[in-house]
């Protein structure tokens, strides 16, 4: 029996780096440091790609967009989300809903959530009500609590396209 719905989970983490923009959920967030990475290091988009790819049984973001490939150097991670949605669509899947948690001691994420949801809904081809983004801290524990970086968890539900 083949299920018509699937769930995937994704996780990503990047350390802070000087001289880089902080991009989360496709939004440029004012902060003194950005995140280190081969692309724009958008942990929210990266975790979400892993959740979507995992739900469809298509591996992970590193397989599809390897950091050894120079075409992805400093790439806008929206490109990864759009390509992932396209790969799902080619296989008959559509996004049902997504839920993402950003884990950061700093900066405050809440003021940027509405812009992130709007941008992400457009990339996922869903209504904004199908996109949830929230943030938490680690109460100053661990690498996030020491302000060494930012992490994100994502869960995605996909379903077979009707017809």
Known binding positions: 12-14, 38-39, 46, 60-62, 65-69, 136-139, 146
C-alpha to C-alpha distance for 28 and 155, rounded to whole angstroms: 23
| Binding site per annotation, positions for a divalent metal cation | 12, 14, 46
3-state secondary structure 118-163: HHHHHHHCCCHHHEEEEEECCCCCHHHHCCCEEEEEEEEEEEECCC
């Amino acid at each position: 029996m083949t299920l018509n719905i699937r769930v995937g989970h994704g996780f990503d983490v990047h350390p802070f780096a000087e001289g880089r923009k902080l991009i989360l959920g496709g939004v440029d967030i004012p902060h003194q440091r950005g995140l280190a990475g081969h692309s724009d290091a958008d942990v929210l988009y990266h975790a979400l790609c892993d959740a979507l790819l995992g739900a469809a049984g298509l591996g992970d973001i590193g397989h599809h967009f390897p950091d050894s490939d120079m075409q992805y150097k400093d790439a806008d991670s929206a490109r990864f989300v759009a390509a992932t949605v396209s790969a799902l669509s080619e296989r008959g899947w559509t996004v049902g809903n997504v839920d993402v948690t950003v884990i950061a001691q700093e900066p405050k994420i809440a003021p940027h959530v509405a812009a992130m949801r709007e941008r992400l809904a457009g990339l996922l081809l869903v209504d904004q009500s199908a996109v949830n983004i929230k943030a938490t801290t680690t109460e100053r524990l661990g690498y996030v609590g020491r302000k060494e970086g930012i992490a994100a968890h994502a869960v995605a539900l996909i379903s077979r396209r009707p017809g």
